[in-house]
Amino acid sequence: MPAADRLVILDRDGVINQDSDEYVKSLEEWIPYPAAIEAIARLSRAGWTVAVATNQSGIARGYYDVEMLEAIHDRLRELVREAGGEIAHIAHCPHGPDDGCGCRKPLPGLLEEVREALSMEDLSGSWMVGDSLRDLQAGEPLGCKPVLVRTGKGRRTEEKGEGLDGAMVFDDLAAFVDWLLARGDSDEQSRPARKTAR
């Protein structure tokens, strides 16, 4: 069972790969950030557990199907393995915003799925990394520490400035991982209230 304080949960689009207002509908349209793949592998090699929690309403909208989503996620896992890392679990919400599900972020259902899949009692002290406010909000009820990255929709989210109290802000996933691995196992008091990486 992973320790909660050694778990990093990532949003997908805009954090691991380029986002698209037209949705990422195929393997050709799924363009990973090379630095993000390497960052995931570095976390894994350093003994951290990495999971992904991603809204995929394009399934409900009919833009692609679950099989295509799984092909993309297989490719993601393959790239991370090639870099020497591992993704412990990928949770996705296939529903649209009006479907009334419990898993679409900002609701915490996807993170509960991660917790159950990893046989963890709770997620308190885990890190939730995203490029939108709803990513960070999904982790709040479960005690996750919020991290905003400026890739994807992150800069727009930062400019709005809403709901980011206590969130740390980094240029990208690699910058966050640099900081996280450099701090080692230092205690919570060493954590700044908000870090801005340039």
Confidence of residue 167 (pLDDT cuts 50, 70, 90): very high
**Residue 110 buriedness (CB in 10 A; 0-12 / 13-18 / 19+):** buried
Residue 155 has pLDDT above 60, yes or no: yes
- Helix (H), strand (E) counts: the chain: 6, 6
Positions annotated as catalytic residues are 11, 13
Which pLDDT score, from 0 to 100, does residue 185 have? 53
Q: Is the pLDDT of residue 129 over 60?
A: yes
pLDDT for the residue 1: 82
pLDDT reading at 189 higher than 80: no
The model's pTM:
0.92
Q: Which residue would you say has higher pLDDT here, 190 or 156?
A: 156
pLDDT, tens digit, for every residue of 64-96? 999 999 999 999 999 999 999 999 999 999 999
Residue in the structure block whose two tokens are 């159950």: 116
Check whether 194 has a pLDDT greater than 50: no
Tell me the pLDDT band of 99, cut-offs 50, 70 and 90: very high
Q: Is the peptide bond before 106 cis (omega within 30 degrees of 0)?
A: yes
**Chain segment 132-151, per-residue pLDDT in tens:** 999 999 999 999 999 999 99
pLDDT (0 to 100) of residue 196: 45
